[in-house]
Amino acid sequence: MPPQIPSMKLIYHPLSPYCRKSYMLAHELSLTTHITLQKVVVCPLLNYPGWSDNNADLVSAGNPLAKIPTLVITDPEAGDVAIFDSRAICETLKDIAGSTSAHGAGNEGYLDRARERTLASVADGIIDAQISITYENTLRAKKNISMPEWIEGQIAKVHRGFDVLESDFAGTKFLSQSGGMGEAAVAVVIDCTEARSKGWDWKAGRPKLAKWWEAWRERESYKQTEPDIDWKTGEKVDLGPLPTDP
């Protein structure tokens, strides 16, 4: 007998191609009867009436990046688990659908796989926000078109992302020096943050994440991919001056 399909909620907007892609796949996999829909409008700015009002719904659902789509899976043991981005959602839907066949591989471990994908998505989202801040502070600032409200919104995403890394992942098997995809993504986020955000102490209030980081930076994979060395020869290279973010 195939495992029971969990109940799910998709936080979405119909004009988002990422949301449409996810729900279109749910149709193809015959999973829509198991998915409720919550339509929201979101905005990268913190205070944009009518748009950013719904950001808190996504954050409280477990997505610190406040982006759509977000899939919330209700698991009997883990409770409500937020899965994002759209690629992670689609892979998770495929995992769940694969369990419906009596001859399928089953969906054992699908939630762990989904959470590791989401861990990588949190890290990637933080990186995206940091890159956006850099563009605002450099290229756009030089043309006097930098938008402080945009920078403020991106900084909030970075801080919320680090909070979720500490509260939901640090100290668990997903950040346990196992060498997984999610851990590699988190490692580059922290390294980038330490290099560029000199005025912000990300370790404050995040002891588990800091402990994981101190151990990870001793791994050969970290040492052999530092930005200021040639990744093939190991020789030092000069990167020149780098932009610094707030």
234 lies in a domain? no
Q: Within 10 A of 49 (CB to CB), how many other CB atoms are there? A: 7
Rounded to whole angstroms, how far apart are CA atoms 14 and 69? 10
Beta-sheet pairing, 7-12 with 70-75: antiparallel
On whether both 191 and 133 belong to a single domain, the answer is yes
Q: Which domain holds residue 166?
A: 113-223
92 lies in a domain? yes
Q: Of the candidates 133, 120, 206, 203, which has an alpha carbon nearest to the alpha carbon of residue 166? A: 206
Going by C-beta distance under 8 Å and a sequence separation of 6 or more, which residues neighbour residue 3? 99, 106, 107, 108
- Tell me: the pLDDT tens digits for 189-239? 999 999 888 789 999 999 999 999 999 999 999 999 888 888 889 999 887
On whether both 104 and 120 belong to a single domain, the answer is no
Token readout for 143 is 């043309």
pLDDT at residue 109, as a whole number: 86
**pTM of the predicted model, to two decimals?**
0.83
13 lies in a domain? yes
246 lies in a domain? no
195 lies in a domain? yes
Q: Band of the pLDDT at 101, cuts 50, 70, 90?
A: very low
Rounded to whole angstroms, how far apart are CA atoms 162 and 158? 6
Domain boundary among 87, 108, 129: 108
What's 166-200 look like in SS3?
A: HHHHECCCCECCCCCHHHHHHHHHHHHHHHHCCCC
Rounded to whole angstroms, how far apart are CA atoms 183 and 119? 8
Rounded to whole angstroms, how far apart are CA atoms 77 and 94? 21
24 lies in a domain? yes
Could you tell me the CATH number of the domain that includes residue 21?
Answer: 3.40.30.10
On whether both 79 and 42 belong to a single domain, the answer is yes
34 lies in a domain? yes
Rounded to whole angstroms, how far apart are CA atoms 182 and 188? 10
Could you tell me the CATH number of the domain that includes residue 129?
Answer: 1.20.1050.10
On whether both 94 and 33 belong to a single domain, the answer is yes
On whether both 191 and 123 belong to a single domain, the answer is yes
- Tell me: the pLDDT tens digits for 32-63? 999 999 999 888 888 888 778 778 888 888 99
204 lies in a domain? yes
* Mean pLDDT computed over 94-104: 66
On whether both 102 and 158 belong to a single domain, the answer is no
Rounded to whole angstroms, how far apart are CA atoms 188 and 127? 9
Domain count, the chain: 2
On whether both 102 and 124 belong to a single domain, the answer is no
Rounded to whole angstroms, how far apart are CA atoms 90 and 20? 11
**Do you know the residue count of the chain?**
246
On whether both 104 and 122 belong to a single domain, the answer is no
